[in-house]
Amino acid sequence: MYFTKWKETVILCACICLLAVPALATTVTVSPATIPDAGSSVDVTIVADSLPTGLSGYIMTASVADPSVAEITAVTFPSWASMKLNSAVPASEVSLRASDLSLGVSPGAKGVTLVTLTVKGKIAGATTLGLTVRQMDPDGAGDPINPTVIPGTISVGGVVPTATVTPTATPTATPTITPTATPTATVTLTATPTATPTATPTATVTLTATPTATPTATPTATVTPTATPTATPTQPGQEPGYITVFSYPLGGSVALDGTVIGTTPLQDYAVEPGTHTLTAAYPGYREYTTTVTVSPGEHKRVPLIIFMKGIPTMFPTTIPTTSVTTNIPTAVPTATLTPTATVTGSTGTGALKISTVPRGATIYIDDVVKGISPATISDIPAGNHELKVAKQNYKTTVKTVTVQAGKTIQVPLIVLSPTRSGF
């Protein structure tokens, strides 16, 4: 009995020690940059100092505080970013998204470059390049990464940033002192500005009105500095919304309000808040149209678009039977059987590179477990095989794949559909 209690005590202490170990924090730094003159460009790197749990992907927004000084003209993602997307450039604010499908950023990585931005100077001045991390996921299971962000300073034409907040504190203290001071002290303060001497003779003529007129004139002088800070932080327009579009098959073109904005997968594309008409198209399939309503700052996922084969506008009843007969040449079956004969006669082994959305799905080749996505499955006999991908709470996907001897075939990205509502 005593041994059992001793063992329980040791286990409890070990757990407390593990809980006491502080979690390693991640800091994301935007490198400062000096642009020699207006019209020139420099590269600004965004680096994570350490990633104890690795990295599977991120969603971030980079923005220039003063768009009149500089703008972002280009985005360069690192080689580990298997899937990457950014909003249109040049712009003062750019949405960034990257996913690591090849496990390029392993746990414990240090000094990882997340993205490189090309920044162009517009006028001589100074501003900051800020970063908002909306989502940062670890590699595999675990809590999300909540990094500390250090913005970078952008200097154009040798201009050094100056603090403009100091004048705001000076006028604020002046009204507090002026009413409590004597009229003589008020005259001394109002003598400093150039525009105030007109108020001085008024106070000298009527002694009775001097105490009343002086406090009234003093706040008037104070209003001018107060109005300056109010006008400085110009409120930008509404924060944009963001839409994410997936389709099957992948690679369909996406248009918003009649303008093509990219191809699927389209992730976190910045749009103006409101209701938009979204159209998706894929060669040989029917066009898909829907409406999307996005609020400011909202990240909206459009339901998975599954393209359907096009239906002819005229049915065969209008086509002569002779046309139908002549459209079936005897050489067609021979042509379709040729690849099958080639595959069957092939020897050796090949490999398949398989990625899924979401990650972590179980991969079966001919009903045999081969790994967890993303993964490269090697030593597969050449020929046709059944590929099955399964994950809890998602529909199982089954397809036929062809393995070629001595080659690694990239299987098109498999997007799993959830078994419950939502995508």
> How far is Cα of residue 220 from the mean position of the Cα atoms in its chain?
47
Fold of 241-306: Immunoglobulin-like (2.60.40)
Q: CA-to-CA distance for 113 and 75, rounded, in angstroms?
A: 13
What are the tokens at 324? Answer: 């139908």
Higher pLDDT, residue 23 or 290? 290
Higher pLDDT, residue 75 or 103? 75
Local confidence band at 220 (pLDDT 50, 70, 90 cut-offs): very low
Model confidence at 75: pLDDT above 50: yes
Q: CA-to-CA distance for 384 and 402, rounded, in angstroms?
A: 4
- pLDDT tens, position by position, 28-58: 999 999 999 999 999 999 999 998 888 888 9
- pLDDT tens, position by position, 106-126: 888 899 999 999 999 999 999
Question: Which pLDDT score is estimated for 248?
Answer: 84
Provide DSSP, 42-76.
Answer: EEEEEEEEEETT--SEEEEEEEES-TTTEEEEEEE
Checking phi first, is residue 158 left (phi over 0); if not, alpha (psi -120 to 50) or beta?
left
Report the interhelical angle of 210-231 vs 166-180 (nearest 10°): 170
Question: Which region among 209-213, 382-386, 414-418 has the lowest average model confidence (pLDDT)?
Answer: 209-213
Model confidence at 88: pLDDT above 50: yes
Q: In 65-124, where do the E strands start and end?
A: 70-76, 83-86, 93-99, 109-121
- pLDDT tens, position by position, 249-283: 888 889 999 898 988 988 889 999 999 999 998 88
Q: CA-to-CA distance for 400 and 325, rounded, in angstroms?
A: 31
Fold of 27-156: Immunoglobulin-like (2.60.40)
The proportion of the chain whose per-residue pLDDT surpasses 70, expressed as a percent, equals: 66
Q: CA-to-CA distance for 390 and 76, rounded, in angstroms?
A: 34
Question: Which pLDDT score is estimated for 19?
Answer: 45
Local confidence band at 89 (pLDDT 50, 70, 90 cut-offs): very high
Q: Do domains 27-156 and 241-306 have the same CATH topology?
A: yes
Nearest to 128 by CA among 78, 163, 95: 163
Count, residues in the chain: 423
Q: Report phi then psi at 327, rounded to 5.
A: -80, 5
Q: Report the range out of 126-135, 261-270, 413-422 with the highest average pLDDT.
A: 126-135
C-alpha Rg value of the chain to the nearest Å: 33
Give bridge partners of residue 401 from the DSSP assignment. 385
* β 152-156/33-35 pair status: parallel
Domain 336-415 = CATH 2.60.40: yes
Local confidence band at 346 (pLDDT 50, 70, 90 cut-offs): low
- pLDDT tens, position by position, 170-180: 444 444 444 44
How many other CB atoms sit within 10 Å of the CB of residue 305? 18
What does the pLDDT average to over 316-336? 39
Domain ranges of the chain: 27-156, 168-231, 241-306, 336-415
Local confidence band at 235 (pLDDT 50, 70, 90 cut-offs): very low
Model confidence at 137: pLDDT above 50: yes
36-49: b or e for each residue (b if 16 or more CB lie within 10 Å)?
Answer: eeeeebbebbbbbe
